[in-house]
Amino acid sequence: DAGVIQSPRHEVTEMGQEVTLRCKPISGHNSLFWYRQTMMRGLELLIYFNNNVPIDDSGMPEDRFSAKMPNASFSTLKIQPSEPRDSAVYFCASSRDGNSPLHFGNGTRLTVT
């Protein structure tokens, strides 16, 4: 079991650029979550997918953020245009179902200058 795989591990970009973060969940897991972690706010839930369908995106900060899950083995989180305040570590997590423990990837550290 390779675990949840995220790419890239680090991303440095300039303000205004588009950023795409990628996630491959654990095979057989039907729930996928995107979280953002900062020192100030801790881990914040951005969006939750169940069976590839977005169920709750109330945590997505603005229209600049969008997430997709075209199939059970791939999800993306896109920020367009990026801003310095988007700098954070973005985690993807999957679980067997919405009530099971989460398996996290090792995150993407995003720096927007």
How many angstroms separate the CA atoms of 16 and 112, rounded? 9
Look up residue 29 and give its amino acid: H
- Positions in 63-102 near another protein (CB under 8 A): 91, 93, 98-99, 101-102
Site string for another protein, 28-57 (x = CB under 8 A): ---x-x-x------xx-x--x-x----xx-
Residue 85 burial (10 A CB sphere; 0-12, 13-18, 19+): exposed
- For binding to another protein (CB under 8 A), which residues are involved? 4, 31, 33, 35, 42-43, 45, 48, 50, 55-56, 91, 93, 98-99, 101-107
